[in-house]
A and B are shown apart, each in its own frame.
Chain A
Amino acid sequence: MKSFSLRDVGNEAKLLLIGLPVLIWTLLPIYHLVLFAISPKQDAFAGKLWPDHPTLHNFGIVFRQQHYFLRDFWAQFWNSTVIALAVGALTLFIATCAAFAISRLRVPGGRTVMNLALFTYFIPAAFLAVPMYRTMGNYGLLNNHWSLIFAMVTIASPYAIWVLKQASDKLPVELDEAAIMDGATPMQLFRLVYLPLMLPSLVAIGTYAVLLAWNEYLYAFLLLSKDTEITLPVALGNFLAADDSPWELLMTTGLIYALPPAAMYYAFRRYMVGGLTAGAVKS
């Protein structure tokens, strides 16, 4: 560390001049969300920066489903959870198998599959949504959780395969050769050598897929419609349609919905940052 000097103080001040606006810019919408959740209705609507009487009352209303808009809160929470976990598991399965086949077994046509996956990764999600909606209709899957699960697996897999393939390529080929010498079948190689070594990347990709599915609004909004079948973000969007939206409850529900992904992100941050950004853009 450098020694303390006047120049350092100046530097520090300049950095603070950037840091402070960045902090406010980043946290303001989130702070406003929290503020609403802990404010009684009249405080929230009076434009206060801190409520006179902070309360957890709103959370009680949401958890006990004591409002017309919240009748199905727990069902919707459950739907979000099940769909996110299913997407995480399916994506991991599909992507791990594909990455192993492409990178380690060097299956013929593997490169083509990789390119197809990359192509999917680059289709803007909102553009695929329109034909996807019709396709799900043709398959008879509309208003069925499977439609959203498949849609999200389709969107999550390409990037998952890409990141896992990048990580697979880094494993030394000698490990495979040694295992094959010892008479390992490809499946034993997969289970006993490959999966344990790939664990950190698998955690990153699993988290990525779960978060993607949990956070998804557009596809959920298009593909599901029954109040008891929709996910939380769709329910939040439906709040908006009303003329007299109970905003304090909307924000409280929004905060409850935003907490699990934030917690998950911070829990797996170590894996996420390395695993995801490395594959995002190869410099």
Chain B
Amino acid sequence: MTAITLSSPEATPQRPWTSRLTTTQVWGLALLAPYILVFAAFVVYPVSYGLWLARHPASYVALYNDPIFARAAVNTLIFLIVGINLKMLIALALSGFFIQQRAWIRWLSVLFILPWAVPSIPTILSVRFMFNPEWGVVNHLIFKLTGEDGPNWLNDPAIALTMAIGMHIWKSLPFWTLILMTGRLAIPQDQFEAAEVDGASGWQKFRFVTWPAMRTLYMTCTLLSMIWTLGDFNSVYLLTGGGPADLTHVLATLGIRYLRLDQLDLSMAAIVCALPLVLPLVYFMMKRLSR
């Protein structure tokens, strides 16, 4: 939008556009129609229908009384607070590593993208087997090194949740590193040179040049990552299945669990519970992106 309005301030009202405005408008609307139809059929209708299903206060009482829900809500918060901050901080640090001009680092960055490029299910299943207490390679190694049995990784809720967070980080770290790399590369190089002339240390260069330039991008990425992490079903479901004893569910997997149990009202209610968190984020992101 902005690019076009900026480039034609001198346009006169009698441009060729105006004479064709109606035809153009008709074409424009016809071209928009496919998306509007998809939006109406598969966003407006489902979302309103879902909200309508979630209208009974009884669902929320039932949800509140279900200990699995409380646990899932806490897990979701742990996922968001620990998982996202850890992921974004590592991504920020690694983005600094990957912009180094070395041939081997360029090769590494090509490989580094793999977790993001390959589908979730094979790699998550691979990790799942790696940590199988009886047959997995991790406990084999632990036994070889220490002579003791390793932990029962996915059957201890605390460890299993940590692993699910690790899985989430493994999968999404490349994407955010790539984005933050783009941000770092956009910082004018002479600012670093000036800092170097002033004798700034590596940390000072980060503190006074890199971080001020990256702060907004970093915040936006963190918030966007929150929205997507709330919708991350695979990392938890495929690794732990929500178990052991339904103790590692997050809201995304819990909603699907109720759906599979044919408790659609509860399923929608669980999702609606996340809306106070999601809606401000969506509002903020839309404001940022549609400026």
Please state if B120 and A281 are interface contacts (CB–CB under 8 Å).
no
How many residues of chain A are within 8 Å of chain B by beta carbon? 107
Please state if B232 and A126 are interface contacts (CB–CB under 8 Å).
yes
B153, CB-defined interface residue at 8 Å: no
Give A254 to B120 CA distance when docked, in angstroms: 10
Q: Which residues of B72-124 have CB atoms within 8 Å of chain A's CB atoms?
A: 94, 97, 100, 102, 104-105, 108, 110-115, 117-124
Give A134 to B253 CA distance when docked, in angstroms: 17
Report A179 CB to chain B, min CB distance, Å. 10
B227, CB-defined interface residue at 8 Å: yes
Give A131 to B50 CA distance when docked, in angstroms: 5
Pick the residue among B24, B42, B112, B182 that contacts A105 (CB under 8 A): B24
From DSSP, what is the main secondary structure of chain B's interface residues?
A: helix
Chain B positions 19 through 34: 1 when the CB is less than 8 Å from some CB of chain A, otherwise 0: 0100111011101101
Given contacts A217-B120, A261-B118, contact A114 B290 (CB under 8 A): yes
Q: Which residues of B contact A277 (CB under 8 A)?
A: 178-179, 182
Chain A positions 42 through 56: 1 when the CB is less than 8 Å from some CB of chain B, otherwise 0: 000111110000000
Pick the residue among A118, A180, A266, A281 that contacts B220 (CB under 8 A): A281
Please state if A251 and B129 are interface contacts (CB–CB under 8 Å).
yes
A128, CB-defined interface residue at 8 Å: yes
Please state if A119 and B286 are interface contacts (CB–CB under 8 Å).
yes
Report B254 CB to chain A, min CB distance, Å. 10
Binds A, one of B58-66, B132-140, B188-196: B132-140
Please state if B28 and A105 are interface contacts (CB–CB under 8 Å).
yes
Binds B, one of A29-37, A57-65, A70-78, A197-205: A29-37
A127, CB-defined interface residue at 8 Å: yes
Chain B positions 173 through 192: 1 when the CB is less than 8 Å from some CB of chain A, otherwise 0: 01000110011001000000
Give A161 to B31 CA distance when docked, in angstroms: 12
Give A190 to B28 CA distance when docked, in angstroms: 11
Please state if B282 and A130 are interface contacts (CB–CB under 8 Å).
no
Please state if B97 and A130 are interface contacts (CB–CB under 8 Å).
no
Centre residue among B35, B123, B216, B274 by max chain A CB count within 10 A: B35
Please state if A130 and B123 are interface contacts (CB–CB under 8 Å).
no
Please state if B259 and A169 are interface contacts (CB–CB under 8 Å).
no
B264, CB-defined interface residue at 8 Å: yes
Report B233 CB to chain A, min CB distance, Å. 4
Please state if A222 and B259 are interface contacts (CB–CB under 8 Å).
yes
Give A27 to B233 CA distance when docked, in angstroms: 22
Report B234 CB to chain A, min CB distance, Å. 6
Given contacts A169-B3, A233-B119, contact A47 B108 (CB under 8 A): no
Given contacts A32-B126, A173-B8, contact A98 B35 (CB under 8 A): yes
Pick the residue among B38, B110, B121, B232 that contacts A237 (CB under 8 A): B121
Give A186 to B21 CA distance when docked, in angstroms: 11
List 28 A-B residue pairs with CB atoms under 8 Å apart, sorted by A's residue number: A19-B108, A22-B94, A25-B170, A30-B115, A49-B137, A94-B38, A98-B32, A98-B34, A110-B32, A119-B282, A123-B282, A125-B233, A129-B233, A129-B259, A150-B38, A151-B42, A154-B42, A157-B38, A180-B20, A211-B117, A236-B122, A240-B125, A247-B129, A250-B125, A254-B125, A261-B118, A273-B178, A281-B217
